[in-house]
Amino acid sequence: MEMIKADKLIFEYEKRDEEGNVISTSRAVDEVDLDIKPGDFIAILGHNGSGKSTLAKHMNAILVPTDGSMWVDGKDTSREEHIWDIRQSAGMVFQNPDNQIIAAVVEEDVGFGPENLGVPTEEIWERVEESLRSVGMISYRHHSPNKLSGGQKQRVAIAGVLAMRPKCIVLDEPTAMLDPNGRKEVLKSVAELRQKENITVILITHYMEEVVDADHVIVMDHGHIVMQGTPREIFSQVEELKRYRLDVPQVTLLADELRKRGLDVPAGILKKEELVNALCR
């Protein structure tokens, strides 16, 4: 069974006047089909306004389809009786960790979700410890979140989601507000999590370097899926990506320029080491 399945998913934002009458609609997601298997690492790319964050919010039933359907762990997100289960199955990490951290002490914040689920106290503390260890933040358990860096706060936000034992974690531009070091910290935590827990990871981003280790990359534009494939398949189409106003990893761009000038370099190079090896050959 798919972890996430969308079938002809449509979502329209409505603009209303002061009396509450709909005066216009804009389609943010337009007939999107998705099949994401348990344990997959899927990256969704797109410039601002492409519909990627709107799609992400359907995976946690924050939004429900205007038309078509979205299923999470076999449950229809438009059925109100399923919402609680869906939000346990698919945890969401947002762009700004300050919007997600609510307690005055790190460990209390991580324990907030399981406590709301009615998990017994002893198990809550076990989950808190396990989750903080898995994101490398156990030594900060008694700290105030206000004194942490952006990257550390985001790792605490991820630990809070993990403590609820989700099958899937949806990261909606989790590094957009972080410096390069913070971005590295968060991505390293996510990569380690996948290896240890076999959690399905869906990463929404516009940083190309963040998606090179994904199993599958989806590119969105104006609410549509316009490209999909492995990172190598996607990044071998440099001109196509530029057409959708997306950057390309610098090493991919350099390899592409070298190839255009006659050097025998393979298409879709993703990492510096690959380019070095190709040039040394």
Phi, psi dihedrals of residue 116, rounded to the nearest 5° = -65, -30
Residue 156 has pLDDT above 90, yes or no: yes
Q: How far apart are CA 125 and CA 189, in angstroms?
A: 20
Quote the domain boundaries for residue 106. Answer: 4-230
Q: How far apart are CA 212 and CA 229, in angstroms?
A: 12
Residue 110 has pLDDT above 90, yes or no: yes
Residue 5 has pLDDT above 90, yes or no: yes
Residue 274 lies in a domain: no
Written as six digits, the tokens of 202 are 């869906």
The arithmetic mean of pLDDT across residues 31-38, rounded, is 95
CATH of the domain at 74: 3.40.50.300
Residue 269 lies in a domain: no
Q: Could you tell me the CA-to-CA distances from 58 to 7, 55, 139, 160, 267 in Å, in that order?
A: 12, 5, 35, 20, 34
- Mean of all residue pLDDT scores within the chain: 90
> How many beta carbons lie within 10 A of that of residue 90, not counting itself?
26
Residue 281 lies in a domain: no
Q: Could you tell me the CA-to-CA distances from 225 to 30, 219, 244, 277 in Å, in that order?
A: 9, 6, 11, 33
- pLDDT band at 195, cuts 50/70/90? confident
Q: Which tops the pLDDT comparison, 11 or 268? A: 11
- For the four alpha carbons of 182, 237, 36 and 44, in that order, the dihedral sign comes to positive
Residue 223 has pLDDT above 90, yes or no: yes
- Amino acid 230: pLDDT: 95
Residue 191 lies in a domain: yes
Residue 278 lies in a domain: no
Residue 202 has pLDDT above 90, yes or no: yes
Report which DSSP code applies to 199.
-
Residue 15 lies in a domain: yes
Residue 144 has pLDDT above 90, yes or no: yes
Q: Total structural domains in the chain?
A: 1
Residue 143 lies in a domain: yes
- pLDDT band at 178, cuts 50/70/90? confident
Q: How far apart are CA 17 and CA 7, in angstroms?
A: 31
Report which DSSP code applies to 19.
T
Strand segments, DSSP code E, in 81-172 are: 90-93, 168-172
Residue 122 lies in a domain: yes
